[in-house]
Amino acid sequence: MAIERQNGGNGQHRLGGLIERANAIVRAIAQPSLTQLVLRFGLAVPFWRSGVNKWDGFLQLNDVAILLFSSEFQLHLPGGPYPFPAPAAMAFAAGAAEILLPILLVLGLATRFAAAGLLLMTLVVQLTVPGGWPLHVAWAAMALGIMAWGPGRASLDHLIRERLG
């Protein structure tokens, strides 16, 4: 009986050691700064892609972007759907934000504010395309994670903070 307890204890000890080593490997891979960097890129990419498709040149929206906001996109609110107010202005604001905010995220500059802006845009997208909620929840989770934990060490925000003390 004592031998069984000793072997059982050894087995449990080995299993515990193996689990601890596996956890150490996972922690080494998922460093907080790497995670924050990946979150920033993951959130930036879909908005950037959408943004570049709205422009024909510098500050020149394409006709499709304006058409979408004036005739296709609707806000699905109670009692609605409702058309977007000032569709040309909304298309311009959305297109500009979809370029500027991802750039800020990738650089890690004004990161929490950029993530908050993309969270707000995600809410508007959800109201416009209600069926896309699984993807929109993922975008919201990334934005909230960035807002909560910041940009990480691989960012201009971190560099500026270090320089300014």
Which tokens sit at 79? 């009692």
How close are the terminal C-alpha atoms of the chain, in Å? 63
pLDDT given for residue 8 in this prediction? 53
Of 101, 143, 112, 107, the residue nearest 126 (C-alpha): 143
d(CA 70, CA 81): 13
Low-confidence ranges of the chain (pLDDT < 50): 1, 3-4
Element (H, E) at 57: strand 55-57
Q: Which residue's structure tokens are 């759907």? A: 81
Q: What is the pLDDT of residue 29?
A: 77
What are the residue ranges spanned by the domains of the chain?
A: 1-30, 31-164
pLDDT tens-digit profile of 16-48? 888 888 888 888 777 778 899 999 999 999 999
The pLDDT of residue 33 is 82
> What pTM, to 2 d.p., does this model score?
0.81
- Which pLDDT belongs to residue 98? 97
Helix (H, G, I), strand (E, B) or coil at 152: coil
CA dist., res. 139 & res. 39, Å (int): 9
Give pLDDT, residue 18: 84
Q: Give every CB contact of residue 92 below 8 A, 6+ residues apart in sequence.
A: 61
**Pair of tokens at residue 101:** 């905010």
Cα torsion 139, 47, 44, 24: sign:
positive
